[in-house]
Amino acid sequence: MLDKLATYLDKYDEISKRLMDPEVINDRQLYQTITKEFASVQEFCDLYHKLKKAYDNLAGAREILAEEDDMDLQDMARSEIQQLEKQIADYEKQAEVLLNPPDPFDAKNIILEIRAGTGGDEAGLFAADLFRMYARYAERHRWKLEVLSQSPGELDGFKEIISVISGNRVYGTLKHESGVHRVQRVPQTEASGRIHTSAVTVAVLPEAEQVEVEIDPHELRIDVFRSSGPGGQSVNTTDSAVRITHVPTGLVVSCQDEKSQLKNKSKALKILFSRLLDLRRSEQEEKISAERREMVSTGDRSAKIRTYNYPQNRITDHRNNYSTYNLDSVMQGELDEIIESLHDHFRVLAIENAGTEKVRE
């Protein structure tokens, strides 16, 4: 932790010199910008000096405890050690917050996309199970869930289901759920009782506001067609379904759940904006350092992130090797333990990688 904070010391000296540069002083806007940067770096440096002093004092107190025979001095040393250890723990928590600033998207709502992967009908059934799991988790947190689009599969499963979940810090809570979720269990369709392995992909996208993603209307191709699937009440008898293609990226979004073409178009645009925002973030992440890229790649949706083993009632997350034997409860929406362990894991990775790019600078 001390080493990570130390990487800001050189930056502090560099900015201090710039603030004394006459050219900077005479440029009011530049001076204000550098002053803000100086205040930010100073916070890291001040905490470094406090933490280093506490470490030095702790080493001195432990030395007294080990070398002195005087009981009074030993008691004083023990008391000081106890106080210093608490102080160091507080400083290290402050350092964690500084070195791992919150994602600006954490407060956003999400677009949750769940798709059946390999495994046929069983994958579709598990996609429905995962949707119910997240729906119950959202209910526990008093979040609102609205289905935007769904493509039913066989046996009450889903080929795909897309929803928006809105509430307090939804993206910040669920952002590590993106990836391939693997299930191992005996399918309903398996007469011999053999364990079958299937996969479902989950994508958690921060819900985008239109002002965050600029789209030229001329870059959109909008097609309308007649809805397919279960109908009734004019759903299948009018051209209400909408397909929107973003020509530059090739992204395609279809929506046919509503009887109104306008409502389907609105839902499709909501999904498209969020996918484009996610694409933009992915492109930005490709430009960062190899160490940071390695950290975030564990959340890549192409990677298997979790296995749900029904015979053993076990869930294992492969990113932090965390296992728990309460699969039944988790599928009822009790995900807090798993999610908290992931947040701790990624927080540690962020701290380990913090300051790497500062050193290069």
The domain that holds 70 is classified in CATH as 1.20.58
Residues 225 and 129 in one domain: no
Q: Is the pLDDT of residue 215 over 90?
A: no
Q: Is the pLDDT of residue 287 over 60?
A: no
Q: How many CA atoms lie within 13 A of 326 on its CB side?
A: 11
Residue 88 falls inside a structural domain = yes
Q: Is the pLDDT of residue 6 over 90?
A: no
Q: Quick check: 127 and 193 in contact, CB under 8 A? A: no
Q: Among the three residues 263, 284, 305, which one is the final residue of a domain in this structure?
A: 284
Residue 192 falls inside a structural domain = yes
Residue 232 falls inside a structural domain = yes
Average pLDDT over residues 51-66: 90
Residue 212 falls inside a structural domain = no
Residues 318 and 177 in one domain: yes
Residue 359 falls inside a structural domain = no
pLDDT the model gives residue 191:
63
- Element containing residue 171 per DSSP (H, E): helix 170-174
Residues 42 and 73 in one domain: yes
**Alpha-carbon separation of residue 172 from 9, 105, 223, 289 (angstroms):** 31, 7, 35, 23
Q: What CATH number did the domain enclosing 172 receive?
A: 3.30.70.1660
DSSP character for 208?
Answer: P
Residue 184 pairs with which residues in a beta bridge?
Answer: 197, 309
Q: Among the three residues 237, 265, 284, which one is the final residue of a domain in this structure?
A: 284
pLDDT digits (tens, 9 = 90+) for 125-159: 999 999 999 999 999 999 999 998 888 887 889 99
Residue 300 falls inside a structural domain = yes
Average pLDDT over residues 301-327: 90
Residues 55 and 14 in one domain: yes
pLDDT the model gives residue 51:
93
Residues 200 and 304 in one domain: yes
- Parent domain of 186: 110-207+289-353
Q: What CATH number did the domain enclosing 242 receive?
A: 3.30.160.20
Residues 129 and 183 in one domain: yes
Residues 9 and 57 in one domain: yes
Residues 21 and 48 in one domain: yes
Residues 135 and 179 in one domain: yes
pLDDT the model gives residue 285:
60
Maximal CA-CA distance, the chain: 94
pTM of the model: 0.63
User: In whole angstroms, what is the distance from residue 68 CA to residue 89 CA?
Assistant: 26
Q: Quick check: 124 and 150 in contact, CB under 8 A? A: no
Residue 36 falls inside a structural domain = yes
pLDDT digits (tens, 9 = 90+) for 242-282: 888 888 888 888 888 777 888 888 888 888 888 888 887 77
Average pLDDT over residues 57-65: 90
**Alpha-carbon separation of residue 252 from 5, 129, 174, 221, 280 (angstroms):** 45, 26, 24, 9, 16
Residues 92 and 203 in one domain: no
Residues 43 and 186 in one domain: no
Q: Among the three residues 50, 75, 99, which one is the final residue of a domain in this structure?
A: 99
Domain count along the chain: 3
Residues 185 and 85 in one domain: no
Residue 122 falls inside a structural domain = yes
- For the beta carbon of residue 178, count every other beta carbon within 10 angstroms: 21
Q: Is the pLDDT of residue 83 over 70?
A: yes
pLDDT the model gives residue 233:
44
